[in-house]
Amino acid sequence: RTQLRGDELIVVSNREPYIHEDTGHGTIVKRPASGLVTAVEPVMRACSGTWIAHGSGSGDRGSVDKHDRVLVPPGKDDYTLRRIWLTEEEEKGYYFGFANEGLWPLCHVAHVRPVFRENDWQEYRKINQRFADAVVAEARSEDPVVLVQDYHFALLPALIRKKLPRATIITFWHIPWPNPESFGICPWRQEILEGMLGSTILGFHTRFHCKNFIETVDRYLEARIEHEHSTISFHEDTTFVENYPISIAWPSDTTMATWAPVAQCKERVLQRLGMPPGHRIAIGVDRFDYTKGILERLHAVERLLEKHPEWIGKFSFVQVAAPSRSSLEEYRAFQDRIQNTTRRINERFGNDSYQPVHLLAEHHESDALNELYRAADACMVTSLHDGMNLVCKEFVAARDDERGVLILSRFAGAAREMSEALIVNPYHVEETADALHRSLTMPEAEQRERMASLRMTVHEFNVYRWAGRMLTDAGRWRLRERIEARV
Ligand code: GDG
């Protein structure tokens, strides 16, 4: 808040932070499963302003008008949520099509081939323009600070810049940026890069993603790059490219005081899943997405039971898989594969009273997730590629008892900060299975050491620092521009 001294703040993202659903008996408000929302929401609560997002929850047109512009969080009214409504066709082309079948697999090296359709691209351009118009319409000043979130809006920065040349535009790309060869297959690579370079500040999670982006611009655009300052000058604009590792809001003492003791969480979870006291569990929590390495994780669990039969009947793996992008064929095929593999492992190692894998393919309330984090002996984050990954940070934040072991993919951005986890290559089933065995047999003292150190990192490098660093950089930039304008 102090960084901006009363400047106007506008956030743009595809996903809305709250979903208002009209039932026959009134409106219910839900929170979506999204890393972006987890990270940005606490910042908006602290800073206030306007959040522009694609409205998803409300069914009929009548409720649309009612929920067009609402104050959130419900009852607290910290900031305004302004919804943009899309037709089914627009959502299909812009969101499911170009963003999720094109850019998502293009930027994640998960060996799923991106799909580029001309029609999707045209919808993507059109919707980016619509959001740019909304930013201009919402802006109360000619130099707002606009936070553009993610790969749904690569064209937005330049479009906003055209109408509001004095705006400070901070774009944060929540997913990885690949190397120039990989990115270069995109038929519209030049427009995308030019769109992004409308930003004042362009943020990625890691230094490595920044480097890939700068090299991509160097390869495909006539731009001036100053490596020393990490800036790119293109036409009239200069963009500062920097890494800002995202994180979570560390739970307050008051929040922690409401948590049930770990022993009780364990008891409840085991009871709910029909497991006897003392049963050991590892967990996974993800959107149901092929980049998260859920299949590889299941293979590792299977290998553990093969290699160490002493765990059969004593250990289970629990996977929360929140439904995501299920209208896409690739995602439905992936869900089927996971379901089949789960069934196969359960038939192979389970019996009437023992189920080695529990697949909970539904959305959970965040309290239920926290209880699961607290109940787990190990948490498996085995993404094939991940910008950052917040689940590993949430797990660590939940463990004030300093127990539990984190198994973390080296291909998640988080691995760069969280080296006290058991770091694995998720493609290496044997290595992951060994890490799982190690986590289940790790002495308490070692668990404590690793967890204490991880907790210090996540506590210190929390989401306020992520946002604070970006806003401080933006504030400095604005001052410089004001000074230069006087000269
Ligand atoms: C993108 C990048 C980056 C999951 N299931 C449920 C649920 N979740 C919550 C988790 C966590 C979030 O969703 C997932 O965050 P991730 O970071 O793991 O992943 P993405 O959604 O892919 O996020 C990622 C992130 O953006 C931020 O920049 O870290 O790399 O891919 O908070 O707890 N939440 C609820 N119910 C569920 O069933 N309530």
- Tell me how far the alpha carbon of residue 141 lies from the centroid of ligand 1, in angstroms: 33
- Tell me how far the alpha carbon of residue 311 lies from the centroid of ligand 1, in angstroms: 30
- Tell me how far the alpha carbon of residue 290 lies from the centroid of ligand 1, in angstroms: 14
pLDDT at 38: 84
Residue 202 pairs in a beta bridge with: 171, 241
- Tell me how far the alpha carbon of residue 10 lies from the centroid of ligand 1, in angstroms: 22
Tell me, what DSSP letter sits at residue 259? S
Index of the ligand 1 atom closest to the CA of residue 412: 30
Q: Cα dihedral angle (435, 439, 443, 444), rounded to 10 degrees?
A: 140
Index of the ligand 1 atom closest to the CA of residue 35: 15
Index of the ligand 1 atom closest to the CA of residue 362: 38
39 pocket-lining for ligand 1 (C-beta < 6 Å): yes
pTM score, two decimals?
Answer: 0.95
- Tell me how far the alpha carbon of residue 13 lies from the centroid of ligand 1, in angstroms: 15
174 pocket-lining for ligand 1 (C-beta < 6 Å): yes
pLDDT at 65: 63
Index of the ligand 1 atom closest to the CA of residue 38: 32
Cα 18 to Cα 53, 246, 286, 324, 448, distances in angstroms: 10, 20, 19, 16, 36
Rounded CA-CA distance 276/148 in Å is 48
CB–CB of 11/80 below 8 Å? no
**Nearest residue (CA) to ligand 1, atom 33:** 391
363 pocket-lining for ligand 1 (C-beta < 6 Å): yes
Q: How many CB atoms lie within 10 A of CB 335?
A: 20
303 pocket-lining for ligand 1 (C-beta < 6 Å): no
pLDDT at 5: 60
pLDDT at 1: 44
pLDDT at 57: 62
ipTM above 0.85, yes or no: yes
391 pocket-lining for ligand 1 (C-beta < 6 Å): yes
**Nearest residue (CA) to ligand 1, atom 9:** 33
- What is the mean pLDDT of each successive set of 10 residues along the chain, which is 487 residues long? 69 94 84 82 87 77 69 93 95 97 97 97 98 96 95 98 96 98 98 98 98 98 96 94 96 96 98 97 97 98 98 98 94 97 98 98 95 98 98 98 98 98 98 98 98 98 93 92 84
Rounded CA-CA distance 273/268 in Å is 9
- Tell me how far the alpha carbon of residue 35 lies from the centroid of ligand 1, in angstroms: 3
Query: Helix crossing, 156-163 with 118-138: angle to 10°?
Result: 40
